[in-house]
Amino acid sequence: MAKEKKHRFGKKLVITLLCGVLFGGALAAVPVGYSYYKAQKEQALEEAKKQEAEKLAQTGNQELAGQQTALKEDRISSVYDVSVVWDNVSPAMVEIQTKYISSYRFFGRTYEQESEGSGTGIIIAQGDELFVVTNHHVVDGAAAVQITFVDGTTATAQVKGSDAAEDIAVLSVSFSDLSEETLGKIRVATVGNSDALQGGELVIAIGNAAGHGQSLTVGHVSAVDREVTIEGVTMKLIQTDAAINPGNSGGALLNAAGELIGINNAKLVANDVEGVGYSIPVSSVVSLINRMVNREEIKYKDSALLGIEGQDVTENLSTALNIPRGVYIVRIEEDSAAEKAGLPLYGVITEVNGMEVKSMEQLKEVLSYIRGGSVGTITVQERVEGNYVPKEYSVTFDVRGHR
């Protein structure tokens, strides 16, 4: 049955760093973990100061003792019970189950085969619907997506938006599919600032490991801005030694305060490698998630069409040929939106309406967000005297269903 308006917070949503709105339970519940850690750390610092002062006092250098403890104060850290983080964050986590249908021919007949997959998602926002962020590869090609909440209830989810290059997808769930009891138990994750991360910081990973349900692992930031190439796509990721296992994809990487600072997406698997997992820095994809959450629902036939054929300029090609990453225009259709706008052959499309484009798949995804017939902008990198220079073109997009 329909839910009361008190669960609706308006159409336009903006997810910001260090911000979270909670379902059930007070917002003050999240800082409890931080206060606990702060109190414990202060206690540890005082004890360390005392021990250091006593040690140095024995050498007759009391003044140096004060200087040394002041210098060390910001460097002392300890690992405490993280159960409070689990209590605060697990209501924002969901398990994702996907179904795939593949067809094959055998002796002239076509058969269909169903398979299943699993992953993790994070409740990231609420508006007219509930929104869950996960990895693109978790839901890519799925015929059906179902999510399970902290109380064990399930609901069908729709893919609101997905980006292969960033490996990010946003799912939506109708409030009419959720009971009042479930709404009282789930909450929206608090988003932190991954740009402030440093190597060695304590991090906590929560996810649906091996499809067996939510579980927690603890580790540290091994490196920030680690360049990793996955299936031909190069990304800058957080490296951690917190265990990231199959099914953890789309799960949360949290700091000690329980703030979301990464979306887990990969593990390095090799016989001689242990403890190398990767997570997408949340600060790098907040704007993308916002666009997906707020995107207008447009039918495929009503979406925008540009009218070009393109080739991906991958990271390797970009480096080898000194060409900007994007979509290299190899053909422009006659009487298309691209031709009318004057887009140059052999230019490289890098942005559409301010959204970054790195591949043909990403270009198609961005165009699916735009209504055909609307006016927008295309940024093309053009070669001028041996260098590529960006130029912005105004374009009236074709309607996909009209060509």
- How many helices (H) does the chain have, and how many strands (E)? 9, 20
Q: Report the first-to-last Cα separation within the chain, whole angstroms.
A: 41
Exactly one of 118, 136, 167, 284 is catalytic; name it. 167
- Quote the strand ranges of 302-347, DSSP E: 304-305, 308-313, 326-332
- Quote the strand ranges of 315-360, DSSP E: 326-332, 348-352, 355-356
Q: How far is CA 291 from CA 12, 190, 273, 283, in A?
A: 10, 18, 37, 14
Give the helix/strand (H/E) hosting 252.
strand 252-254
Instruction: Judge whether 102 counts as a catalytic residue.
Output: no
Exactly one of 118, 136, 137, 194 is catalytic; name it. 137
Instruction: Judge whether 7 counts as a catalytic residue.
Output: no
Instruction: Judge whether 249 counts as a catalytic residue.
Output: yes
Residue with tokens 């740009």: 195
Burial 127-138 (b: 16+ CB within 10 A, else e): bebbbbbbbbbb
* AA identity, residue 149: F
Exactly one of 162, 172, 249, 336 is catalytic; name it. 249
Give the helix/strand (H/E) hosting 294.
helix 286-294
Question: Which of helix, strand or coil describes residue 6?
Answer: helix
Residue 73 exposure: Cα atoms within 13 Å on the Cβ side: 12
Q: Any residues with CB less than 8 A from the CB of 166 and at least 6 apart, and which?
A: 136, 235, 280, 284, 285, 288
What is the C-alpha to C-alpha distance for residues 20 and 125, in angstroms, rounded to an integer? 8
Residues carrying an active site annotation: 137, 167, 249
